[in-house]
Amino acid sequence: GAGVSQSPSNKVTEKGKDVELRCDPISGHTALYWYRQSLGQGLEFLIYFQGNSAPDKSGLPSDRFSAERTGGSVSTLTIQRTQQEDSAVYLCASSSSGRALYFGPGTRLTVT
Amino acid sequence: QQQVKQSPQSLIVQKGGISIINCAYENTAFDYFPWYQQFPGKGPALLIAIRPDVSEKKEGRFTISFNKSAKQFSLHIMDSQPGDSATYFCAARGSTLGRLYFGRGTQLTVWP
């Protein structure tokens, strides 16, 4: 079946612009996660959704970052007034069992 | 505070050798311990996972050893192959829902 999909795959933006990153989870998966991975670095947790609510948003680095999930499916991660330090690969994952996370291919964000 | 500590940061192994990656955790509430494999340009993919009521789990050439009293777990890759060259992440989770806490990753290179 279809896996987690993310769009765009690559995004180049100018410093100060807003960007929206999209995640389509595996159909039926109730849990959705956003992680960030900087070049050669580990996986930094950003936010977790169960259904449309976000019980854990403690990883969002600043108030420039926000995320929403609608219809228990698609999620959008928005970064306002992007900074160069926001450059990273943004990974989305979904889960049905609360155990295994299935990751998408990521969106590579470059802020110039 | 790093919830899961992973070592080594990088590992070079000869083809046919055994690759061993170690992880340690502090939170005794963790009850699910997966390993993820990530190839360049791809999202992490679940490789193998274990629960703390089991001391060892084997799937093909991949084995997790778990030491609950020491709060340590490790991944063993037997008969390592060049195709195993990737970054490996250990992780832990404390409930059926909620975030996975990841180690910083180990970059494995298997020389032919």
Under 8 Å between Cβ of A52 and A74: no
pLDDT the model gives residue B96: 61
pLDDT the model gives residue B97: 63
pLDDT the model gives residue B1: 73
Q: Which of B99, B101, B106, B107 to mutate to test the interface with A (most CBs of A within 10 A)?
A: B99
* B42:A97 CB<8 A: no
Confidence class of residue A2 from pLDDT cuts 50, 70 and 90? confident
Which pair of structure tokens corresponds to residue B89? 């992440």
pLDDT the model gives residue A55: 87
Mean of the pLDDT values across residues B1-16?
Answer: 94
The tens digit of pLDDT for each residue in B56-89 reads 999 999 999 999 999 999 999 999 999 999 999 9
- Closest among B104, B72, B82, B67 to B19, alpha carbons compared: B82
Identify the residue with better confidence: B98 or B38: B38
Q: Which residues of B touch A (CB under 8 A)?
A: 32, 34, 36, 41-46, 49, 89, 93, 95-105
The tens digit of pLDDT for each residue in A79-102 reads 999 999 999 999 999 998 767 899
Mean of the pLDDT values across residues A19-28?
Answer: 96
Contacts of A45 in chain B (CB under 8 A): 99-102
To the nearest whole Å, the CA of A104 is away from the closest chain B CA by 6
pLDDT the model gives residue A98: 63
User: DSSP code of A55?
Assistant: E
Under 8 Å between Cβ of A79 and A87: no
Report the percent of chain A where pLDDT is more than 90.
Answer: 84
The tens digit of pLDDT for each residue in A27-72 reads 999 999 999 999 777 899 999 999 999 988 999 999 999 999 999 8
The pLDDT mean for chain B works out to 94
What lies within 8 Å, CB to CB, of B22 at 6+ separation is B6, B7, B8, B72, B73, B74
Minimal Cβ distance to A33: which of B96, B99, B105: B99
Distance, CA of A38 to CA of A13 (rounded, Å): 16
Mean of the pLDDT values across residues B11-24?
Answer: 98
What lies within 8 Å, CB to CB, of A88 at 6+ separation is A36, A37, A38, A39, A108, A109
- Closest among A12, A90, A106, A111 to A47, alpha carbons compared: A90
pLDDT of B94 > 90? The answer is no
Which pair of structure tokens corresponds to residue B107? 């970059």
pLDDT the model gives residue A27: 93
Q: B90: burial class by Cβ within 10 Å (0-12, 13-18, 19+)?
A: buried
pLDDT the model gives residue A1: 56
Phi, psi of B71 (to 5 degrees): 55, 50
pLDDT the model gives residue A72: 86
pLDDT the model gives residue A96: 87
pLDDT of A14 > 90? The answer is yes
pLDDT of B30 > 80? The answer is yes
